[in-house]
Chain A
Amino acid sequence: MKAASFAYAKPRALAEALDLAARPGAKILAGGQSLIPSLNMRLSYPELLVDINGLDELKGIRLDKDIVRIGALATHAEIGKSDVVTKHLPLLSTAVPHIAHPAIRNRGTIGGSLALADPAAEYPACVLALDATIIATGKKGERKIKAGDFFNGLFETALKPGEILTAVEFKAQKKDEKSAFLELARRQGDYATIGLAAFATNGTKRLAYFGAADRPVLAQNAAKAKDLESAKAALAKDLQPSADLYHSTATKLHLARVLLERAWNTL
């Protein structure tokens, strides 16, 4: 299908981008790997696409003391190849090969992925597991939003109209901290049937499931459990996964338990 008509602007500065983003019917275009398919399928009818790919201040991956700051326009490929990420955010590193396919990873961005908040996507669960901070910029300036407060529903985030997600900040993983990333999908690169981004620090666990709800979910009861068996039992309280085209609720819950079991000993 061919997309319906829309106007296009490519701002050269963030201030200009914010002005354009505030216009009615405006949508931000970053990597376009999710937006453009929806346009091509006529599922979405923006009046104006604001192409932010020219904003250099949104690019780059930096380690600043113990904070890793990843610009919203960092592509999945860049994140996957980054030494900083490999060394300091191994959870993210292990998630990247599961994201779609090489050609898509060359264009898709972390900012785009988080702003879209697809419940079956990898990054939202990763930022939740790592308790990352999402930086949103509006006309009034920067706003920091904790990952736990960011995902509000199906494709719904805490971003306000006219705000642009400009960066994500993570605490660099410490030596005694552990992470595990597990995803089940029918084929390499598919959206997850179910996945788990897990992080263990100081005896506490953060178990962020994706593909299990309308947003990434922290399995808090399971995380508090003393042993694997009670954790698996507790999972039913944490997750009420909706069925998808191919998997019933019961199957999703079962698979969530399987992932928990596989991750448990590595944490």
Chain B
Amino acid sequence: MEHAVEATLTVNGTEVRRRIEPRQHLVDFLREELGLTGSHIGCEHGVCGACTVRVNGEIVRGCLMLAVQADGCQVETIEGLSDSGELAQLQKAFHERNALQCGFCTPAMLLAARDLQLSNPRASREEIRAHLSGNYCRCTGYQAIVDAIEEVLHGKG
């Protein structure tokens, strides 16, 4: 811990203060230090999107942000967004349409879906697919996920 830096961040509404090694990325910090294992690591190159979390209201790749960079930030993970109920509608639609199989990409998909819901609630099917274009899923082939989001945005089709 020779280069450790102190950082204070708010995670799911709770203030957290730690000495953090600069090289540790945010999602490793959340998983290892805080036990918030709902955010997953799929590549660490910023391509698969499985590590998506919300920082200051914006979705980011947790593997492309150093934990120390989250100093002073509000970080929200799948656990917090589940408990607050913010994702309830999406989670219900995902469940009913089996928009998840192994579940590894799912927390990130939900965060991306919520981001779309907030930024473009009238999104077309094509726009839904475009917004998810940075989230890799190998199990579903994406259609059920698109269907679930479309249902939440526009009602049962």
Determine whether A and B are in direct contact in the complex, meaning some CB atoms lie less than 8 angstroms apart.
yes
Contacts from A to B (Cβ < 8 Å) = 1-8, 10, 29, 32-33, 36-37, 39-41, 49, 51, 53, 77, 97, 100-104, 106-107, 187-189
CB B38 to nearest CB in A, in angstroms, measures 16
Residues of B within 8 A of A189 (CB): 133-134
Residues from chain B with a CB closer than 8 A to the CB of A188 are: 130, 133
Partner of B134, one of A8, A40, A77, A101: A101
> What are 17 A-B pairs at a CB distance below 8 A?
A6-B22, A8-B66, A10-B71, A32-B65, A32-B69, A36-B25, A37-B44, A41-B45, A49-B66, A102-B59, A102-B112, A103-B59, A103-B61, A104-B46, A104-B64, A188-B133, A189-B134
Is A40 within 8 A of B63, CB to CB? yes
- Check if A8 sits within 8 Å of B58, measured CB to CB: no
Q: What residues of chain B lie closer than 8 Å to A3, measured between beta carbons?
A: 23, 25
Hey, which bits of chain B sit against chain A, CB under 8 A? 2-3, 5, 21-23, 25, 28, 44-46, 49, 52, 58-61, 63-66, 68-69, 71, 112, 115, 130-131, 133-135
Interface centre among A1, A106, A189 (most CB of B within 10 A): A106
Chain A residues positioned under 8 Å from B61 (CB to CB): 33, 103-104, 107
Contact between chains at A187 and B133 (CB < 8 Å): yes
Q: Which residues of chain A are within 8 angstroms of B49 by Cβ–Cβ distance?
A: 101, 103
With A4-B23, A32-B66, A187-B133 already in contact, 16 other A-B pairs whose C-beta atoms are closer than 8 Å: A1-B44, A2-B28, A3-B23, A5-B21, A6-B22, A29-B66, A32-B64, A32-B65, A32-B69, A33-B46, A33-B64, A36-B46, A49-B66, A97-B130, A100-B134, A101-B135
- Of B5, B59, B131, which one neighbours A8 at CB under 8 angstroms? B5
By beta carbon, the residue of chain B nearest A41 is B45
In the complex the two chains form, is B44's CB within 8 Å of A49's CB?
no
Q: Which residues of B contact A7 (CB under 8 A)?
A: 3, 22
Bound form: Cα–Cα A147–B44 in Å: 32
Contact A5/B23 with A37-B46, A40-B45, A102-B131 known, Cβ cut-off 8 Å: yes
Smallest distance from the beta carbon of B157 to chain A beta carbons, Å? Answer: 23
Instruction: Report the separation of the CA atoms of residues A2 and B23 in the bound assembly, to the nearest whole angstrom.
Output: 8
With contacts A103-B134, A107-B65, A189-B134 taken as known, whether A37 is within 8 angstroms of B45 at the C-beta atoms is: yes
How long is the Cα–Cα vector from A159 to B65 in the complex, in angstroms?
25
Known: A2-B23, A5-B21, A104-B64. A40 touches B44 (CB 8 A): yes
Complex: how many Å from CA A37 to CA B66?
Answer: 11
Residues in A with CB closer than 8 Å to B135 are 101
CB pair A6–B23 under 8 Å, yes or no, is yes
Bound state CA distance, A1 and B41, in angstroms? 11
Most buried by A among B22, B52, B112, B133: B22
Tell me the complex Cα distance, A103–B49, Å: 8
- A36 and B63 contact, CB distance less than 8 A: yes
Contact (Cβ within 8 A) B23 A77: no
Residues of A within 8 A of B21 (CB): 5
> In the complex, what residue of chain A is closest to B21 when comparing beta carbons?
A5
Of residues A1, A41, A97, A107, which shows the largest number of chain B Cβ atoms within 10 Å of its Cβ? A107
Alpha-carbon distance between A6 and B3 when the two chains are bound, in angstroms: 7
**A4 closest partner in B (C-beta):** B23
Q: Is A103's CB under 8 angstroms from B112's CB?
A: yes
Cα–Cα, bound, A4→B23 (Å): 7
Residues of B within 8 A of A29 (CB): 66, 69
